[in-house]
Structure 1
Amino acid sequence: MIKIVPILSLMLFLASFQATAQKREISGPVYIDSAKAVEVSAISKRKLKAPSSEYKLFNPRNRGINKVVPGKGLPKALDKTRQKEFGKLPVKEPKLTFDAATSRSTPTDPTGAAGPNHYVNGWNSAFSIFDKNGNQVSPPASLASIGGEFSNETLGDPIILYDEFADRFLITQFSDTPESFLVAVSKGSDPVNDGWNTYRFPTGGALPDYPKISVWSDGYYVTTNKNSNTASTSQVVYVFERDKMLTGATAKVVSFPLPGINTNGFYSPAGFHAMGGEIPPKGNSPIVFMQDDAWAGVSEDHLKIWNINVDWNVPANSTIAESQELGPASGVSPFIATFDGGAFSNLSQPGEAPDLDVLQATMMYMTQYRRFPGYNSAVMNFVVDIDPTAAEHAGIRWYELRQDRNGGAWSVYQEGTYAPDKSDRFSGSMGMDKNGNIGLAFTVLDDSPETPIFPSLRYTGRYSNDPLGLMTVKESTIVEGRSPDPSSRYGDYAHLTVDPADDISFWHNGEYFEAPNRKNKVGVFKLAADVANDVGIIALVDPVSSTLGSSEAVTVTIRNFGEATQSNFPVSYSVNGGQTVTETFTGSVAGTTSVDFTFSTPSNLSVVGQLYEFIITTNLEGDQNSENDALTVNVKNLFPKDVGITSIDSPYTGLTLSSAEDVTVTIENFGGEPQSNIPVIYRLGNNREVSEIYPGTIGVGENAVHTFSSKVNLSRFGRYTIYSETNLEGDGDPANDAKTKSVANLNCIPEGSDCDSFGDGISYFELGDILNERIPCTNGYADFIGFSTDLDRSKGTFTVTVKTLFDSSDDEKFSMWIDLNDNGVFDDDELLISRQTIPSGNTAYSYDFSLQEEAPLGQHLLRIRAGDTSFDGELNNPCSVMQYGTTHDYSVRITDSTLSLDDFLLNEANLLISDQRDGLFTAFLETQFDQRLRVTVHNILGQKMLENMVDNNGNGYEYNFDMSYGASGVYLLRIGTRKVGVVKRFIVK
């Protein structure tokens, strides 16, 4: 039964709070109800229903209207917290891996938790139970098999939880009959043989999408993606009366908004999940969410924290209050947490598979809380784009927050962004063991042809005494994916928990693919020492590759991987198989720490250009793990002088490049001695060289950036080749001196071709209803987007007719594209006619072309170019300026005579875009179509700047959007379904 909080008492409470809240918002509950327990027998005593084996798309991501502002938000450069290198500390391979589920569910929603003797595993929409050795003790079963309130319920989004303070398992899912949240609580620690109590908690008339549950002392807290457009006033966080549920009694539910929140369509806050043997005091239960300054209404990137206090005696007196905003001044570095304008397809896979959903705007499950003497700690992560200047590159931004007293302020103890190479990393899940060591597991993906990686599961971590902000443990594999995800939906989450039996083992459950199946793999790993005596070598500190001599000191890093402090043990090294030098380390090294040791005997490394192989070993008596005792490292005696260009950093491909573009290069010192006054040149195409001197000093192994004082003219649209090299006198290795880079001026409105002197280009164009005769030359480009015709894709073949005024032989040719994906770029796979000859002037020639059966319906841009290819070979470059020719743009509308009525209505719609000044625009689509539509904005480079949803307001679809932060230039807006849409070009000045 719904109860309304008394307005007067709430107002008085709000007024009294103003004096101490520093203008932080506070709210009471917006929904109160209760649920009775329905008892069910032990799983071992019941016949279980097998899970469905059919392909099924589960729970399309519920989303509200997002608020991304194209061009807004920091940072504008590389994420300064990025970890660019892998950790170096060796860690044992997973001590256990096993396939937990095989399914056609899309996605599988992998989840699971370890208890004292079992691992309970869940996926959409089923569960199974394993022992701690990975043996299945209860077979895969539908969630409906749990019985009670779960009977006939298979909507999914399950979460498996182990409440170590009560020694109980929880299994959850949501329901839409009616909208509610289902919870099964075991009666003991044995999920197979102990019975269960089941609950159905009403959720106030809206589906509790993407629920994530956590344990606090006074309740089970559930965060949802619910009421995203009114999250600051509507129910978002639910709290269930934990004490009553543990006894099987009727339990209350209290729901809260998140006052002061900003959302971006889909969103997912997180509750702090208590673990580690000591339960927190009741009250001040934290909820956290990131706030991205790319969203409207957010002035700077920050973490927002709320505190919830529940009064179960008088639930109406319960409160949620904004507690803190941790921004740049509090140690939260700027981040980009928005991908593709808020779209759900983001990361490329190898081959022709669809782009994956990166799970943006999500505090990844779980945010784990643990108590230590003198402080409390919480770890959390979410995905970020590490470099806004390049193609999207996903990395994992992670935090450890600390609190020095219960209920006190949280501070950023450390932050980092894990992105150690060019591969994408996302769908992270992290936890902290009893020693303060952090484990992080995640998905890795790479679409590069050279090193393709299908979605795969890996892990890293750090020890409590390691340098802050770094994952110091070597990245290790749980499972390498064998095939791509056949859908853009991935995950929708992964789940890492800490084993309550030893409080140091991490159990991670994630999704990978083995065509045609989606599979869930559990990997169990740990960082903490599991033996007393274990010493090894982890690094050769000196010498390093440089100019070396005949008496080089040898320094190594010794790691104590064990628990016991060690001293007085032998350490040895040899070079290129020569005599072994053995000495004794007489100091002491505590458990899970490292120390440097320098041998008293130096090494002779005096041959220039020689590669030397060091083998370094320890020989601790009674060492219980010999795998890490030896390390092999190669060191090279470098040429004293050896520098080169490693990259040409600017100019880069862009719009309307100027006649005075900077040329910037990175110079690296590959040699063994510092270098200064380095001669460096650049050359544009076959033009003359520009020579300058880099006057600074570059240390060994370091690099420096040089911007030439002489600028380069790239004002003519087209492609350019830039060459740069160093010319250091006496350079020992010329092979690394130079780099070449291609850039393009991509205005894509290629004005400036000569179509008048000889009559080159298209003078007549006919396609369907378009008849454009006696086309004037102008400046070589003409915008005829107002001309439009329908192309019924079910007809297959179409005829285009053209003329030219140039009476040529076979040199006058034309090409034609249709921008089928509406991204403003005429891609190679959208080229429908390529370099077709127009044999003579003033004669109409007809040519056939065809469309794919699945060509996207709706309005698209058509581009046609013609010219004398004996002067200009760039006819098939839709953006270059031809010397003699023309480029014209038209509109076409792809139809299908077999369309449904709704598709037909949308395809007939008229789209208008009006400039409201100051970078604000309004798009209006007039149509009788009445379902929710998708709107996208692309720039002329094809980058998606915005994706959103828009509803019919009764008169049509009106969408207001802010481009005041966007760069000046041409953009394309599309409104429609994924099948049918209307496209229009607009200009930001």
Structure 2
Amino acid sequence: MKNLLYLLVLLFLFHPDVEAQNKQISGPVYVDSARAVASGALSKGKLIAPSSEFKVFNPRNRGINSIVPGKGLPKTIDPALQNKMGEVPSKAPILSYEAVSTRSTPSDPTGSIGPNHYVNAWNSAFSIWDKSGNQLLPPASLASIGGEFANETLGDPIVVYDEFADRFLISQFSDTPESFLIAVSRGPDPLNDGWFTYRFTTNGVLPDYPKISVWGDGYYITTNKNASTADQSQVIYVVERDQMLKGETAGIVSFPLPGIRTNGFYSPAGFHAIGDISPPRGNAPIVFMQDDAWAGVIEDHLKIWLINMNWDNPSSSEISESQELGQADGVSPFMATFDGGSFSNLSQPGNAPEIDALQATMMYMTQYRRFDTHTSVVMNFVVDVDPTAAEHAGIRWYELRQEVNGGLWSVYQEGTYAPDKSDRFSGSIGIDGQGNIGLGFTILDDSPETPIFPSIRYTGRYANDELGLMTLEEQTIVEGEDPDPNSRYGDYAHLSVDPEDDLTFWHNAEYFEGVNRKNRVGVFRIAADNGNDVGVTGRVTPQDATLGNAEEITIRIRNFGSNAQSGFPVSYTVNGGQTVTETFTESIAATESVDFTFSEPADFSEIGETYEVVFSTGLNNDQDTENDVLIAQIKNLPPRDVGVTSIDVPVTGQNLASTEVVSITIENFGGEPQSNFPVSYQVGNNIPVKEIFEGTVEVGENEVYTFNQPADLSPSGSYRITARTHLEEDFNPTNDPTVKSIANLNCIPEGSDCSYGDGLFYFELEEILNERIPCGNGYIDFIGSNATLDRSQGTFTVTVKSLFAEEEREQFSMWIDLDDDAVFDNDERFISSEVIPRANTALSVEFTLPDDAALGQHLLRVRAGDTNFEGSLNNPCEVMDYGTTHDYSVNVTDSTLNIEDFILNEAELLVVNGENGQYRVAIETDYDETLRITVHNMLGQKLIENQIENNGYGYVYDLDMSYAARGVYLVRVGTREFGKVKRFIVK
């Protein structure tokens, strides 16, 4: 609770990482044994109902991961990134059903498929299903297994199917005393055959986060234990599989991981054997990622150890360092640490807590399969796709191969799956009997435009697809309805492969409905279902560009079936016109893709036109016609069309200087590369700074340009910066400019804690509606959001919400900087210490503007927080222990003003002197009546007369006086009856 404040002091001892000349070898650090206690069939009459109460499981062993600030690669975007979704059509789930609804936090979803049963478990219960999704055993406490499981519900369960023994395993841990509890089914039927149960004590240490894998000579268990001494202490456990399958006394041996580097919570993985060919006895691999952002790690790599058991003399067993696969071996740099190692990382829609990304974890399972020609293992873990930006979680996955059984492992392929801006994490990966790879995962997106609550999806790839890519389109197992009400998530997902066909994937993961945690089982298959099945999966050419009347068309055709195909028709139709049909005469093997180019070109020559093209195959006896057709949009882009898509710097800050760098991003919207064109920026209504972008922007690409001339933002206040391109003959000038509002503030109170729900997570004032405000670091700049306040109305209503409210401690205050000095004075505070009485409930408060409030745009600051702790709410600059501070903009207007009042009393006429006789005349206001501008010399001769319109930020007129003689001139802006006059000098 936040009423209890703790001082945490972390001491790191840094030393150079000197690579040992010889690989380190260690013997066991703990040896013991356990006897079997048999239990009978799982009859419904003996079942114990699981608890329905809210309970947080095992929170105490999740120490923070720590990084060395500034250390580690990559410094920019993940080099293995797949940033586009696969285009191969995938099949919808064969089966999808809810396995459990629970309040256990987290639920720890796990489950494994056997020939006839699916056994799933969670904290701390289990159930059994048939393969059609019918529940054979209703939810029951793990204590219902009996034997050593009697009265035990500590949780963190794992379910494993041992394919080579045709048995199920269920495990959990215990703290009375600290132990693994493992139940092995006495036959293939987990419902009726009974169980052998074991209690393997762990020498006084709770075996946190245990994960089980099957190997030839044992069941191997990895844990999160003894992080600071993992190279010396108990981390990996092996229990005696042969004896457990017989229900006899079985040994347990524990090993350290010599040479490992950890930084807090960590989770290595054992290789879990599946398939037709059993694994060997001995040389059991353990793998863990090593992130070079951690102290003592020189390079990102995968580290592999081998364990060799001697059950005749367990004390002589050994674990040894085997391999480190780094950049030279095909392991691209990765950033596997989020938020400095904390466990609140990924933002959800709305105001829910940030979710744990499950970093520093080899996600369950790491599946090993022997083929006739090689051995493969697949694995995955979460990475931050771009360490320079806000957290963006993607899934780094690998297929390692052994070309010779027992030989060294090599990287066959790697990829980082993050095909769009959404977060993807909590992956579980598997490989089927044909070498196809399936990947289940959680997706999350906090964007207001496209919010995604935690939802479960899958993708995959065929064995012969281009390496490093998940080529299948994502499919949904279930779309979440609500956010996770707690930062704990998972703590893992679990994908297994059906041993009956060796092709079907069963995935179990967590989503949310209200306050309930749901586990969803999704069943899917990648392998071919039909013998004859071809279809179009993609358009290769033409891409969107400036196109002509004879464009070559190339498409990608995939054989989804198990039979090779040849001699079938392929067609295309443009905008519903005549169908062009040709014949694919080559041979395409099962599950492979080929490119086919039509001999007849197509006309796409109309500039700006978007063409709809329908591609199709016409295989005789095609058994799945749904994937035959692909509809594509092809756009003939205008040759010349560029614009500014963002102003990257400057940003709102304190003590901005007279030499602030201005940097923009330029995008080529057109169909031809563009270079050497003018760009400009202007601050407010000042004279624009014009320069030449001398680089080249390719079609559909972005380039960053930094202006040579800096901006003077040293006076305190807010600024509107406009940047634009000036490409000659630009097709669409409306996309040329971008506008950004920033401020030079006297204070920015960053550092308040809002993780408990303190502060404002909803703000509404006139046009501003900010419904999903993230927590951040206690301060967020929303200056680009603007509310119009008509001062003649007098009274306005602001509406806010907080997620914390207790004993009238949560309060909020609001200022408007009417004198535009970027200082929020006491007399500019319009709401003072207003109590927020209820959490997550809208509170509306009225405030009044003075009749003489200055017209124009001003800064608004709003603060909220727990007033029972340090930091004054009504001091706009002071950091609060618990709360938030946000800045917005307001535009003060007055609808009662007539044109005479406006021109003579309210408006200020400015004349800004530029270079080479260029001047800018401006009145900054939102008044929108058309005015007139005239320029006279001192003899009274009229040189210029024109109309002047409001550009949205005021009346602005660029005046070219380069032709005029030196002297004094008069400029007048107004109507024929009323106006304002300003003198200026031409030198």
Q: TM-score, normalised on structure 2?
A: 0.75
Q: Which residue of 2 aligns with 1:756?
A: none
1:432 aligns with 2:431: yes
CA contact (8 A) 1:748 1:940 kept: no
Q: Which residue of 1 aligns with 2:890?
A: none
CA contact (8 A) 1:457 1:478 kept: yes
Shift of 1:483: 1.0
Mapped to 2, the partners of 1:574 and 1:315 lie a distance apart of 71
Q: Which residue of 2 aligns with 1:49?
A: 48
Q: For the structure 1 residues 336 and 721, does the alpha-carbon distance in structure 2 shift closer, same or farther, using more than 3 Å as the test?
A: farther
Shift of 1:736: 2.1
Q: Which residue of 2 aligns with 1:614?
A: 613
- Of 833, 847, 854, which aligns to 1:849? 833
Structure 1 range deviating more: 711-720 or 374-383: 711-720
Mapped to 2, the partners of 1:94 and 1:612 lie a distance apart of 33
Q: Which residue of 2 aligns with 1:894?
A: 869
Q: Which residue of 2 aligns with 1:119?
A: 118
Q: Which residue of 1 aligns with 2:954?
A: none
Q: Deviations over 1:417-470 (max 9, x none)?
A: 111111111111111111221111111111121111111001111122222222
Structure 1 range deviating more: 571-580 or 658-667: 658-667
Amino acid at match of 1:182: L
Q: For the structure 1 residues 155 and 718, does the alpha-carbon distance in structure 2 shift closer, same or farther, using more than 3 Å as the test?
A: farther
1:191 aligns with 2:190: yes
Mapped to 2, the partners of 1:176 and 1:727 lie a distance apart of 71
Q: Which residue of 1 aligns with 2:391?
A: 392
Q: For the structure 1 residues 29 and 719, does the alpha-carbon distance in structure 2 shift closer, same or farther, using more than 3 Å as the test?
A: farther
Q: Which residue of 2 aligns with 1:286?
A: 285
Shift of 1:141: 1.0
Query: How do residues 256-655 of structure 1 correspond to structure 2 at under 5 angstroms?
Result: 256-652=255-651
Structure 1 range deviating more: 504-513 or 73-82: 73-82
Q: For the structure 1 residues 851 and 34, does the alpha-carbon distance in structure 2 shift closer, same or farther, using more than 3 Å as the test?
A: farther
Structure 1 range deviating more: 429-438 or 39-48: 39-48
Shift of 1:399: 1.6
Shift of 1:412: 2.1
Mapped to 2, the partners of 1:891 and 1:52 lie a distance apart of 35
Amino acid at match of 1:319: E
Mapped to 2, the partners of 1:710 and 1:836 lie a distance apart of 32
Query: How do residues 79-118 of structure 1 correspond to structure 2 at under 5 angstroms?
Result: 79-118=78-117
CA contact (8 A) 1:747 1:940 kept: no
Mapped to 1, the partners of 2:333 and 2:628 lie a distance apart of 41
Shift of 1:549: 2.3
Q: For the structure 1 residues 79 and 712, does the alpha-carbon distance in structure 2 shift closer, same or farther, using more than 3 Å as the test?
A: farther
Mapped to 2, the partners of 1:621 and 1:836 lie a distance apart of 73
Q: Deviations over 1:535-589 (max 9, x none)?
A: 1011122222222222222221111111111000111111111111111111111
2:33 counterpart SS class: strand
CA contact (8 A) 2:654 2:748 kept: no
Shift of 1:142: 0.9
Query: How do residues 716-735 of structure 1 correspond to structure 2 at under 5 angstroms?
Result: 719-735=718-734
Shift of 1:481: 0.2
Amino acid at match of 2:505: F
Q: For the structure 1 residues 683 and 373, does the alpha-carbon distance in structure 2 shift closer, same or farther, using more than 3 Å as the test?
A: farther
Shift of 1:716: 5.5
Structure 1 range deviating more: 604-613 or 196-205: 604-613
Mapped to 2, the partners of 1:383 and 1:308 lie a distance apart of 26
Long gaps (5+) in structure 1: 1-19, 751-782, 786-819, 856-867, 880-889, 897-935, 943-989
Mapped to 1, the partners of 2:530 and 2:461 lie a distance apart of 18
CA contact (8 A) 2:347 2:446 kept: yes
Q: Deviations over 1:381-430 (max 9, x none)?
A: 11112222222111111122222333333222222211111111111111
Mapped to 1, the partners of 2:28 and 2:743 lie a distance apart of 57
Q: Which residue of 2 aligns with 1:759?
A: none
Q: For the structure 1 residues 412 and 61, does the alpha-carbon distance in structure 2 shift closer, same or farther, using more than 3 Å as the test?
A: farther
Query: How do residues 944-959 of structure 1 correspond to structure 2 at under 5 angstroms?
Result: none
Q: For the structure 1 residues 511 and 733, does the alpha-carbon distance in structure 2 shift closer, same or farther, using more than 3 Å as the test?
A: same
Shift of 1:749: 6.7
Shift of 1:842: 13
Amino acid at match of 1:894: F
Structure 1 range deviating more: 233-242 or 344-353: 344-353
CA contact (8 A) 2:564 2:590 kept: yes
Mapped to 2, the partners of 1:225 and 1:854 lie a distance apart of 40
Shift of 1:734: 1.8
1:239 counterpart SS class: strand
CA contact (8 A) 2:811 2:866 kept: no
Structure 1 range deviating more: 658-667 or 315-324: 658-667
CA contact (8 A) 1:645 1:737 kept: yes
CA contact (8 A) 2:118 2:130 kept: yes
Long gaps (5+) in structure 2: 1-18, 752-773, 783-801, 803-809, 820-824, 840-851, 872-880, 888-987
Amino acid at match of 1:643: V
1:78 counterpart SS class: coil
CA contact (8 A) 1:869 1:875 kept: no
Amino acid at match of 1:677: N
Mapped to 2, the partners of 1:842 and 1:232 lie a distance apart of 59
Q: For the structure 1 residues 730 and 826, does the alpha-carbon distance in structure 2 shift closer, same or farther, using more than 3 Å as the test?
A: closer
Query: How do residues 166-245 of structure 1 correspond to structure 2 at under 5 angstroms?
Result: 166-245=165-244
Mapped to 2, the partners of 1:261 and 1:80 lie a distance apart of 25
Amino acid at match of 1:399: Y
Q: Which residue of 2 aligns with 1:899?
A: none
Alpha-carbon RMSD = 3.4
Q: Deviations over 1:847-902 (max 9, x none)?
A: 973666899xxxxxxxxxxxx996997664599xxxxxxxxxx9987399xxxxxx
Mapped to 1, the partners of 2:267 and 2:734 lie a distance apart of 51
Q: Deviations over 1:735-761 (max 9, x none)?
A: 2222233455678379xxxxxxxxxxx
Structure 1 range deviating more: 440-449 or 56-65: 56-65
Kindly name which structure, 1 or 2, has the bigger radius of gyration based on alpha carbons.
2
2:709 counterpart SS class: coil
Q: For the structure 1 residues 836 and 64, does the alpha-carbon distance in structure 2 shift closer, same or farther, using more than 3 Å as the test?
A: closer
1:582 counterpart SS class: strand
Mapped to 2, the partners of 1:447 and 1:826 lie a distance apart of 16
Q: Which residue of 1 aligns with 2:815?
A: 835
CA contact (8 A) 1:221 1:240 kept: yes
Q: For the structure 1 residues 169 and 59, does the alpha-carbon distance in structure 2 shift closer, same or farther, using more than 3 Å as the test?
A: same
2:869 counterpart SS class: strand
Shift of 1:688: 2.1
Amino acid at match of 2:694: P
Q: Deviations over 1:486-524 (max 9, x none)?
A: 111111111011111111111100011111321111001
Amino acid at match of 1:269: P
Mapped to 2, the partners of 1:509 and 1:65 lie a distance apart of 27
CA contact (8 A) 2:816 2:861 kept: no
Mapped to 1, the partners of 2:450 and 2:288 lie a distance apart of 35
Shift of 1:667: 2.6
Mapped to 2, the partners of 1:697 and 1:456 lie a distance apart of 41
Mapped to 2, the partners of 1:825 and 1:593 lie a distance apart of 52
Shift of 1:230: 2.0
Q: For the structure 1 residues 399 and 717, does the alpha-carbon distance in structure 2 shift closer, same or farther, using more than 3 Å as the test?
A: farther
Q: TM-score, normalised on structure 1?
A: 0.75
